[in-house]
Amino acid sequence: MSVTLNERLELIHRQIQQSCESLGRVAVALYDEKTDLLHTFLYSSCNNPLKNYQIALSNVPSLQTLALSGEQRVIRDLPETLAGSTSHHSQQILQEGYRSSLTIPLKLQDKLLGFLFYDSYEPDIFGDTLLSTLTLYAQLISETISHDLASIKTLRGAVVTAREFSRLRDEETAAHLSRMAHYARLIAIEVSEVYDLTEEEIEYIHQFAPLHDLGKVAIPDNILLKSGALSVDEKVIMRSHVIRGVEIVDLMIDEFDLGTIRHIDILRNIIAGHHERFDGSGYPAGVHGTTIPVESRIVAVADVLDALTTKRPYKEPWPFVDALKHMRTAEAHLYDPLCLQAIATRLDEMEQISRRFVEDPVEVA
């Protein structure tokens, strides 16, 4: 099993502590340009004061400035500098006892990838020598994350191309894929405590969710786009898209030399299991309950939610409240109840996502 990004960050933290024992935290937050949200991703310490935290970058002017300038920021005395701040993230960092910090913007192909944060329990420790060392580590961290995300982008780009050439024009629009990927992230955050999901795993669920129906590129158009009911034989062919999807992704990983992508098991589980159902009535394996991988259960709920709340040729969009009610009553046996509760908890945010990603054949989020 490959080392996770978080494990690599922990190793880097331990190496730095050999010369700087007071460095208590190394953390990475990723930036989503399409939503303007900055969300926590990796952290090296046992205590994570900002677990599953997100905030609009536009609401943090100091970080906006760093994003534009590309410059580092050293805060030599956090309690003094943040004395008047009422923001949640500032208060949490102070509450943990950190006294100084270094923030470095991370870029990927001249676009903002996110920020790297170094926090120390001692004030004014970021001298020139330590800054040089931490800047080198920042470059290593940035390149490691960038490599993984670029590989996923390559994989997703290849899928978009395949969809175009296969004339795939069912409900799997770019906007649908963007919405359900963001729904999946919110659901994953809500169930993370119970199902022990790390922020790194949550990010990969979000990144991989748009590939759930990859296998549909192998389904003939006369079946995929059929307006009427499918025959028994046609249903068998349609359902084969799950197995074909796993086969295709394995082939693409081999052909594009993408075997180093972390958490590839999450991708395979999403593709293979997003049509499984909690009562065992799904396909292809007919597994049930928590024997279905949690990422599969999350994406299944996100996918159905978007299908119900989106206009289709055969129906008008349902209000989110009605869609959730239907999923918790008539179809309650089909879905993980904790995932359904997550929708209820984050319903307002999901409606905002729906309004942000309207139907438009553009690049997947």
Per-residue pLDDT tens digits for 321-364:
999 999 999 999 999 999 999 999 999 999 999 999 987 544 44
Q: Are residues 220 and 331 in the same domain?
A: yes
- The string of pLDDT tens digits covering residues 288-308 is 999 999 999 999 999 999 999
Residue 159, domain member (yes or no): no
Domain of 325, CATH number, reads 1.10.3210.10
- Residue 167 is predicted with a pLDDT of 45
Domain of 34, CATH number, reads 3.30.450.40
- The string of pLDDT tens digits covering residues 35-75 is 999 999 999 987 889 999 999 999 999 999 999 999 999 99
3-state secondary structure the chain: CCCCHHHHHHHHHHHHHCCCCCEEEEEEEEEECCCCEEEEEEECCCCCCCCCCEEEHHHCHHHHHHHHHCCCEEECCHHHHCCCCCCHHHHHHHHCCCCEEEEEEEEECCEEEEEEEEEECCCCCCCHHHHHHHHHHHHHHHHHHHHHHHHHHHHHHHHHHHHHHCCCCCCCCHHHHHHHHHHHHHHHHHHHHHHCCCHHHHHHHHHHHHHCCHHHHHCCHHHHCCCCCCCHHHHHHHHCHHHHHHHHHHHHHHHCCCCCCCCHHHHHHHHHHCCCCCCCCCCCCCCCHHHCCHHHHHHHHHHHHHHHHCCECCECCCCHHHHHHHHHCCCHHHCCHHHHHHHHHCHHHHHHHHHHCCCCCCCCC
Number of domains composing the chain: 2
Q: Are residues 135 and 198 in the same domain?
A: no
- Residue 318 is predicted with a pLDDT of 97
Domain finish residue from 115, 147, 179: 147
What's the pTM value of the predicted model, to 2 decimals? 0.89
Query: What range defines the domain where residue 45 resides?
Result: 5-147
Residue 155, domain member (yes or no): no
Domain finish residue from 97, 115, 147: 147
Q: How confident is the model at residue 165 (pLDDT cuts 50, 70, 90)?
A: low
Q: Are residues 186 and 329 in the same domain?
A: yes
- Residue 207 is predicted with a pLDDT of 92
- Residue 362 is predicted with a pLDDT of 40
- Residue 155 is predicted with a pLDDT of 81
Q: Are residues 132 and 218 in the same domain?
A: no
